[in-house]
């Protein structure tokens, strides 16, 4: 499965292999956006064992999502994390197979256009590289090992409390993978003159979905301005446990910059 970086040209995208085939037809490709096989609004993906994902993964399109109230959530023992802090997730979470990452943010009313914000996860191996199938995003929403799924919440019924959610089962993550980098980007940010200067009150939270209990909370919108991509946090292996590092680092260059950072070859 090939990764294609937008070049500003129009071209016909067709691809097939033994597992996946798709034909997205003619589409405009815009500089700075990476497309894996298909566009999130027009691509067609089909496979004997892969569900059709084109309609469900429009990823925070159009009008801002109205979040539901999360007052029912148990936040009595939430750990408030600061940028660059590292703690043991294995010690904080009672059930590593029922974790939920919830992300939420507010958009400045001065922003004249809707921000098309995408959440992605780079599942990185020991060589600090990410195989294409281990890049979790709108057109590849579930990892092969079942450890990470975009826009699911272990059937807890709480995903509408956040702008984006990641269902995680760390016990299923392949032992070859060493860290899970949670990232946020603005689609076509350069063309629209958009950046994270329009974002405030942005939070990264880890929830025990089985108990509807918030474990960790980190505000990642501090010290950001003109960036178009953010590495929010990394969940990583350390000896026999999982730990978390709140990164909060901004990048210019959007998703392309993140692919370079986490070792995805682009063509």
Mean pLDDT of the chain: 80
* Residue whose pair of structure tokens reads 């025990």 in the numeric block: 208
Q: Which residue has the higher pLDDT, 228 or 48?
A: 228
Q: Tokens for 136?
A: 């979790």
Please name which of 265, 231, 262, 263 lies closest in space to residue 248, comparing C-alpha atoms. Answer: 231
Give the separation between CA 238 and CA 133, rounded to whole angstroms.
23
Which alpha helices (H) appear in 106-241, and where do they start and end? Answer: 189-192
DSSP codes joined into one string, 68-100: PP-TTSB-TTPEEE-TT-EEEHHHH-S-TTSEE
Determine the CATH number of domain 62-261: 2.60.60.30
Contacts of 165 (CB under 8 A, 6+ apart): 100, 101, 102, 103, 150, 151, 152, 153, 159
pLDDT at res. 230:
96
All structural domains of the chain with their residue ranges: 62-261
Give the separation between CA 242 and CA 95, rounded to whole angstroms.
12
Residue 103 has pLDDT above 90, yes or no: yes
pLDDT at res. 223:
79
Confidence bin at 109 (pLDDT 50/70/90)? confident
Query: Partners of 219 in the beta sheet?
Result: 203
Please name which of 118, 257, 250 lies closest in space to residue 184, comparing C-alpha atoms. Answer: 118
Q: Tokens for 91?
A: 């010690």
pLDDT in tens, 3-38: 554 433 333 434 344 443 334 333 323 333 445 444
pLDDT in tens, 135-167: 999 999 999 999 999 999 999 999 999 999 999
Confidence bin at 92 (pLDDT 50/70/90)? very high
């Amino acid at each position: 499965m090939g990764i294609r970086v937008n070049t500003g040209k129009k071209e016909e995208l067709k691809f097939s292999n033994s597992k996946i085939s798709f034909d997205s037809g003619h589409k405009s490709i815009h500089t700075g956006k990476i497309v894996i096989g298909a566009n999130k609004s027009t691509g067609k993906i089909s496979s004997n064992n892969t569900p059709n994902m084109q309609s469900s993964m429009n990823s925070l399109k159009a009008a801002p999502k109205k979040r539901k109230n999360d007052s029912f959530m148990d936040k009595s023992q939430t750990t408030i994390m600061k940028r660059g802090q590292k703690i043991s997730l294995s010690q904080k979470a009672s059930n590593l197979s029922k974790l939920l990452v919830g992300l939420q943010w507010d958009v400045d009313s001065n922003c004249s256009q809707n921000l098309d914000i995408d959440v992605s996860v780079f599942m990185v191996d020991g060589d600090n590289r990410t195989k294409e199938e281990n890049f979790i995003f709108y057109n590849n929403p579930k990892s092969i090992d079942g450890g990470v799924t975009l826009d699911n919440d272990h059937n807890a019924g709480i995903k509408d409390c956040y702008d984006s959610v990641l269902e995680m089962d760390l016990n299923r993550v392949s032992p070859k993978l060493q860290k899970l980098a949670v990232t946020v980007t603005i689609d076509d940010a350069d063309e629209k003159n958009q950046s994270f200067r329009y974002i405030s009150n942005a939070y990264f939270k880890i929830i025990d979905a089985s108990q509807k209990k918030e474990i960790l909370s980190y505000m990642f919108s501090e010290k950001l301005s003109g960036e178009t991509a953010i590495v929010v946090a990394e969940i990583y292996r350390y000896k026999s446990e999982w730990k978390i590092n709140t990164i909060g680092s901004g990048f210019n260059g959007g998703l392309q910059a993140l692919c370079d950072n986490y070792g995805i070859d682009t063509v």
